[in-house]
Amino acid sequence: MMEQVPGALGTSASLALRLGQTIFCSASLLFMCLDVEFYSYTSFSYLVTVMGLVTPWSMSLALIDAYSVFINCLPRQPRVLLIVVVGDWTLSFLSLAAACSSASVASLLVNAGNSYCPTKLCSRYQLSAAMAFLSWFLSFASTLFNLWLLPSL
């Protein structure tokens, strides 16, 4: 039995983190996608692209964690962990960039007034950016936990 780091791949803390990521990513994607005008702004299209990448990634890792927690514990392989760390790292940078750029564009649109975005649409943009920030935070947390474990393998 190896030392258990809370939050590393295959533990229940990691499952909780991944579920949180999946929820926040999908929420961000839905808030942005369900109105039709997002593709007229570069940052919003970028946010949709990145969230479209992060959602399946988090979802598949959540499935792996769920399998490992509830059915049987998977053996820990350095190569798999390395791929997970590198993927998480890249995606967390991308989602930070997407969250920042869409938040700044949303705040600019809010300040520009009602002619650019009706209040309902603007608050959806803001909510979507906030969800993207939360998803970045969780994804960064799981990167750090996995990175912590990496040298011990």
Chain residues in the site for its own copies (CB under 8 A) = 41-43, 93, 96-98, 100-105, 107-108, 111, 151
The separation between the first and the last C-alpha atoms of the chain, rounded to the nearest angstrom, is 13
Which residue, 42 or 77, has its beta carbon nearer to its own copies? 42
Least distance to its own copies from the beta carbon of 111, Å?
Answer: 8
Q: How far is the CB of 101 from its own copies (least distance, A)?
A: 3
Shortest CB 52 distance to its own copies, Å: 18
Q: Compare residues 12 and 107 and give the one whose CB is closer to its own copies.
A: 107
| Residue 45, Cβ density class (10 Å: 0-12 exposed, 13-18 middle, ≥19 buried) | middle
CA distances from 109 to 38, 47, 124, 126 (A): 13, 16, 12, 10
Give the nearer residue to its own copies in terms of CB position, either 69 or 100.
100
By C-beta, is 43 or 55 nearer to its own copies? 43
Diameter of the chain by CA atoms?
62
Please answer whether residues 140 and 23 qualify as being in contact, where contact means their C-beta atoms are separated by less than 8 angstroms: no
